[in-house]
Structure 1
Amino acid sequence: MARTRIADAASSLTPRGRCLVAAGVTLGLLGALLGERALVQVAVFVLTLPVLSAVGVARQRFRIATRRTVTPARLPRGEDADVLLEVANTDRRTGGLWVLTEQLPAELAARPRFVVERLASGATAPLRYRLHGGRRGRFSLGPVRLRLVDPFGLVLRTAAGSDTATLLVTPRVRPLQGSGALAGAGGNGGEGARRSIAVHGEDDVSTREYRYGDDLRLVHWRATARTGELMVRLEERPWRAAATLFLDARLPAHLTGGRVTGPAGDPAAPPDTLEWGVEAAASIGVHLLRRGAGLRVVTEGGELTPSLGRGPLGPEELLERLAELGGSRHAGLQAGAEALRRAGVDGPAICLLGLLGPDDVHALVRARSGPGTDVAVLVDAAAWLDAGAGRGRRPLAPAARAELVSRQQQAVDLFRSAGWQVVAVRPDQSVDQVWDQLGGPLPSAATYGAPAVSAAGSVGGQVPA
C-alpha cells in the first residue's frame, strides 16, 4: 500500500515538480557529504514545497457539470461547426485552478485547452471552440478532462467526466437542376409523363379493388355491385417519377490513396473516388426525393433503409446513412446486383461505380434486364491517377496502371454494348456537371451499333479479353 501511494505521488508531479525534487535530493546529499548544514536546510525547504503542493491539490474537492451546444448538430463535410461548452461549478466551495481539455477525434480539430480559475459556487464559465468537418462520420465530443494544478505548477491531478455530445458530418449536397437521368425515362415514370384514362361513359371508367387509405368518394358503386367487392375509380393523375440509386462503396474498387485537386474554386472537393461517389449519391438522392420521386438506394451490401424500421428513405435519413457508410471489403458486386434486382423499380437505375471487371458489369446488366434506360457513372481511372490518386501510399507500377485503365475501358464498352448511358468522371468534374450530362435522351443499344440485352440479361457479343 505504501509503495502504491509513493507511485501515485510521483506520477502526479509535473516536470517542474520532478526537477525540484531532484534538486532537493541533490542538495541534501551534498550537504550531508560536505557537512554543510545550510545546504541541508535548503534541501529540506525545496523538498517540502512539492509535498505541501500535493497536499493542497489532494484536499481540493470539486463538483462540476458540463453542457455542450453544437451548431449545427448535422454538419456537411468541409464546413465548420461552433461548440459552446458550459462548465458549471455545482460545489458549495469556490473552485481552484482548473485546466480543462476537451477530448476530440483528430479528424475534427486539435484538442482545445481552457484555464478556469476560482469559479464561484453556482457560476458557469462559457467556453467556445470550433470544429472542421473534414471527414464524414458520427463523432463523439468529450468528455472533458479536468486537471487540478497548484499555484506553483508542481503537482497535477486529473479527472475525466462521462458526458459527451454527438456531431454528425454528412456528405455535401450539391445543388442540382432538372431531372437528369429521369428526363429520358419516358414511360418508366419520367417527370411530366402522365397516365390518361379515356372516359367515354360511366360504363367505360377504369376501376380497381379498394385499398386501405383510398378516398371513399372514389368508390364506383355500380362496379362494386357487379363484382361483389368494393371498387374505386381510377382518375387521370401523373405518374410518380421513380429511380434506383446504386452506390459501389467497395474499398478495392476505389482510388483512395494520395490527394487529388478537385474542381477550381472548390475548397472541400472530394479527395478520392469513394468520397466523390458518396457525395454524388447524397446530391442525386436528395434532389430526387425532394422532387417527389420514388427512390430506392442500394449498395454492394444491400439496400439502405431508415435506421428505425422499414420504409422508404427520406432526405435526412439518406444523409444519415451515407454519413456512416464506410468502405466495404466485398470482392464483387453480385450481392449488390441481387439487391438491385429485388428493388424492382420501374424507372432507371443510376449506378455510381468505381473500378470494375467484366463480372461486375455482367452482374449489373443481368439485374437490369429491361429497356436500355440505365446509367453507369464510372471513374475515369487515367484522369484520377494523373491527378495524384492511387491505391496506396506507393504509386502504381506502369504495368499495373496500364492494366487498371484497360479494364476500366472494357467496363465502359460493355455497358455501352448493353445500351446503358455511360459517363466517365474526372477529378475536375463536380456532381452537378455530371448530372447535367445525364439530362439528354438515354441511348439504346442500336445507338452504339451493339447487340441488345437478352431476356436472361447477358450481353450479346464477346467480352474483351
Structure 2
Amino acid sequence: MRGAPGRTLSTLTPRGHCLVGGGATLALVGAVLGEQPLVQLALFVLALPLLAALTVLRGRFRVTTRRQVTPQRLPRGGVAEVALQLGNTDTRRGGLWLLTEQLPPALGQGHRFSVAGLAPGAATTVRYTLAGRHRGDYVLGPLQLRVVDPFGLVERTVAGTDTAPLTVVPRVRPLGPGGPGGGHGRGGDGARRAIAVHGDDDVSVREYRRGDDLRKVHWRATARTGELMVRLEERPWRAQGTLLLDTRSRAHLVVPARDAGRPVPGPPGDDCPPGDSLEWLVEAAASIGVSLAQRGAELRVVTDTGELPPAAGRTGLGADELLDRLAGVGPSRAGSLRPAISTAARAAGDGPLICLLGAVGPDDVADLVQLRPGPVTDLAILLDITGWAGNGPGRAGRMGSGAARDALSAQREQAAALLSGAGWRVTTATAGQDVAAAWAALGGVRSGAPA
C-alpha cells in the first residue's frame, strides 16, 4: 500500500472545513468593516489548512499488510479471530495512521484502529474478532488507511488490495440414534442395510388401495383388522442418499440481515437458533447430509435451482464439501418444485429420497407421489413456518390473519396425508423444534400405517 498525491479540498476533515469557513467569514467581516488586523488573522487561519494539506499530500509512505484468519471456515454463530500485521517499509517513521478494516455488511461494521509513529522496517499486529451471524462466502478487506496531520485538519485515504476469505457454513446438529437407520452403525455394510425390519411379524402394512398388487396382500394383518391390508416392502438403505431442499422464497419467512439481532424461537438450550425457516431447513440438510456422508453414503443434494455440484470426478458430496455448498444457498425465486422433484427423483434412483420442504400444499407434493410410486423408504419433513411470523417487522403482515395461518396448516396437513398415503414417512417440524427431534420422528412408525 503506497501513498499517492490527491486533491487538497477533497482531503479536508470536518475540522478543516470548519476552519476554512471560519477564516473566510473572518476575512469578509474584516473587509466590510475595514479592519486590517481581522483580515490578517483570517489569512493566517486560512493558511493553516493549506500548510497541513501540503505536508500530508507531499508525504509518502509504504505499508505492507498481512492477514491471518483463524479459522477460515466456521459454523454459523461461531467466532473467528483475525490477526492483521502492518509493516512500515519506508525509510521514514510513519505518522498517525487511522486504519479501517472493510467488512461485508453481514459481518458487521468495519473495525477501526490507529497506529502512530511506526519506525522504518518495524511491524505491529492488531487483532479483532468476527461473529459469523450469517452463512456465506465472504472477503475480509481491503484495509483502508488514513493519514492525518497533527492538527486533524487534513487527511489522506488510501485503500489496499489485500484480502482474505472467510466461509460461514451451516451448523451441524447431532441427530442421535433415534432416526431412520440410526441403529445400523456407520459405514460399511451397516449403511447398506434396510431401515425397517423385514421379519413377517414386524412388516409394515397399510390399507389396500385400487391398483395395488394382490400378491402383496398381508393376510395376517387383514384377518386381525378386518380390512384388506397390503405389505410395505421397503427399499434398502443403500450406500447413497438424496436430499431435496426447498429454498423457494414463497415457501419461507426469511429474516433480512438488518433484523438478525431480534430474538428468534428455538429449542431449549440453543444459544444460536436458526433465524428463519430457510435457515432451519439448511441446518437440517447439513445435519442429515453430514450424518449420511459419515456413514459412507454417496450424497446428492438438489434444490429448486439445481443440484449442488460435487468435486470434479466425483458423483457425490463429501461432508465438508456439502457444508461449503450449503454456505451459499439462499432464497430462490422459483415458483414450483416440479423441476427439482424430477431431478431429485432421477438422482435418488432406488435409494432413499429425503425431502425438506417449507410451506407446501398437496399440489406441491403431487409429483413426488407420481415419480416415487409404491412403498418406499422415502422421508419428508414439512416445516411449519408460522413460528417465525412474529420475528421481524412486516413479516406478521405477510403471514396475515389467523385465517391465513389456518389455511397454511390445512394445506400442510393435506400434503402430509397425500405423502403418507403413498407410503412416505412424514413429520412436521416447528420453529422451536430441534433437527434431531424431527429426524427421530421419522424413525418411528410410518405415518398412516397401523402400529
Superposed pair shares fold, TM > 0.5? yes
Q: For 1:383-462, what aligned pairs fall within 5 Å after superposition? A: 383-385=387-389, 388=391, 392=395, 394-398=397-401, 399-443=403-447, 446-447=449-450
SS at match of 2:380: strand
CA distance change for structure 1 residues 47 and 288 in 2, over 3 Å: closer, same or farther? same
Deviations 1:66-112 (A, max 9, x none): 11111110010011111011111122222111111011012112211
Find the counterpart in structure 1 of residue 357 from structure 2.
353
Q: How does 1:228-267 map to 2 (within 5 A)?
A: 241-257=239-255, 260-267=264-271
The one-letter code matched in structure 1 to 2:193 is A
From the superposition, tell whether residues 120 and 326 of structure 1 become closer, same or farther in structure 2 (CA, over 3 Å): same
Partner of 1:378: 382
Residues 1:38 and 2:42 aligned together: no
Residues 127-156 of structure 1 show CA distances to partners (whole Å, capped at 9, x for unaligned) of: 111111100000110001111100000011
For 2:315 and 2:120, how far apart are their aligned partners in 1? Answer: 51
Per mean C-alpha deviation after superposition, the further-off stretch among 297-306 and 160-169 is: 297-306
Letter of the 1:397 counterpart: G
CA deviation string 1:340-391 (max 9, x = no partner): 1211343322111111122221112222224232111001245454x64898
Mapped to 1, the partners of 2:446 and 2:355 lie a distance apart of 14
Moved more, 59-68 or 176-185: 176-185
Per the alignment, residue 334 of structure 2 pairs with 330
Residue aligning to 2:124: 125
1:138 counterpart letter in structure 2: D
State the match for 2:281 in structure 1: 277
Residues 351 and 389 of structure 1: CA distance in aligned 2, closer, same or farther (over 3 Å): farther
Give the whole-Å Cα distance in 1 for the aligned partners of 2:127 and 2:328.
Answer: 27
Which amino acid in the other structure matches residue 253 of structure 1? A
Q: Distance in 1 between matches of 2:438 and 2:431?
A: 11
Q: Which runs of 5+ in 2 are unaligned?
A: 195-235
Q: Equivalent residue for 1:288?
A: 292
CA contact (8 A) 2:252 2:385 kept: no
Shift of the 395–359 alpha-carbon distance from structure 1 to 2, 3 Å rule, reads closer
**Separation in 2 of the partners of 1:145 and 1:377?**
47
Q: Give the equivalent residue in structure 2 for 1:105.
A: 104
Q: Which residue of 1 aligns with 2:171?
A: 172
Q: Distance in 2 between matches of 1:242 and 1:339?
A: 15
User: Which stretch shifts more, 293-302 or 88-97?
Assistant: 293-302
Following superposition of structure 1 onto structure 2, how do residues 281-320 of structure 1 map, counting pairs within 5 Å? Answer: 281-308=285-312, 310-320=314-324
Residue in 1 that maps onto 2:219? none
What's 2:73 paired with? 74
State the 1:19 CA deviation.
Answer: 1.1
Q: Which has the larger radius of gyration?
A: 1
State yes or no: 1:60 paired with 2:65.
Answer: no
User: In the alignment, what sits opposite 1:205?
Assistant: none
Distance in 1 (alpha carbons) for counterparts of 2:392 and 2:112: 36
**How does the TM-score come out when normalised to structure 2?**
0.81
- After superposition, the Cα gap between the structure-2 partners of 1:307 and 1:282, relative to the gap in structure 1 and judged at 3 Å, is same
Amino acid paired to 1:396: M
Partner Cα separation in structure 1 for residue 272 and residue 38 of structure 2: 64
Query: Residue 17 and residue 382 in structure 1: after superposition, are their counterparts in 2 closer, same or farther (change >3 A)?
Result: closer
Amino acid at match of 1:394: G
CA distance in 2, matches of 1:390, 1:36: 61
Match of 1:181 in 2: 180
Which deviates more from structure 2 when the two are superposed, residues 293-302 or residues 276-285?
293-302
CA contact (8 A) 1:181 1:350 kept: no
Q: Is the 8 A contact 1:353 1:379 kept in 2?
A: yes
Secondary structure (helix, strand or coil) at the match of 2:253 reads coil
Following TM superposition, by how much is the alpha carbon of 1:20 offset from its aligned partner in structure 2, in angstroms?
A: 0.9
The letter for the 1-side match of 2:399 is L
Shift, 1:301, TM fit: 2.6
- C-alpha separation between the residues in 2 aligned to 1:380 and 1:288? 25
| CA displacement, residues 246-271 of structure 1 (integer Å, 9 cap, x when unaligned) | 11111111122586311122121001
Is the 2:181–2:237 Cα contact (8 Å) retained in structure 1? no
Is contact 1:384-1:426 (8 Å) kept? no
* Distance across 2 between alignment mates of 1:405 and 1:239: 31
Match of 1:363 in 2: 367
Post-superposition CA distance 1:280-307 (Å, at most 9, x none): 0001111111121232222223322225
Aligned twin of 1:461? none
| Number of the residue aligned with 1:210 | none
* Aligned-pair CA distance for 1:441: 4.6
Post-superposition shift, 1:338? Answer: 1.0
The residue that corresponds to 2:137 in the other structure is 138
**One-letter code of the match for 1:335?**
P
CA distance in 1, matches of 2:36, 2:449: 106
The offset of 1:190, in angstroms, is 6.2
Corresponding residue SS for 2:426? strand
Root-mean-square deviation (CA), in Å? 2.6
CA drift at 1:176: 2.2
SS of 1:107's partner is helix
- Greater shift in the superposed pair: 365-374 or 404-413: 365-374
CA distance in 2, matches of 1:142, 1:391: 33
- The secondary structure found in structure 2 opposite 1:322 is helix
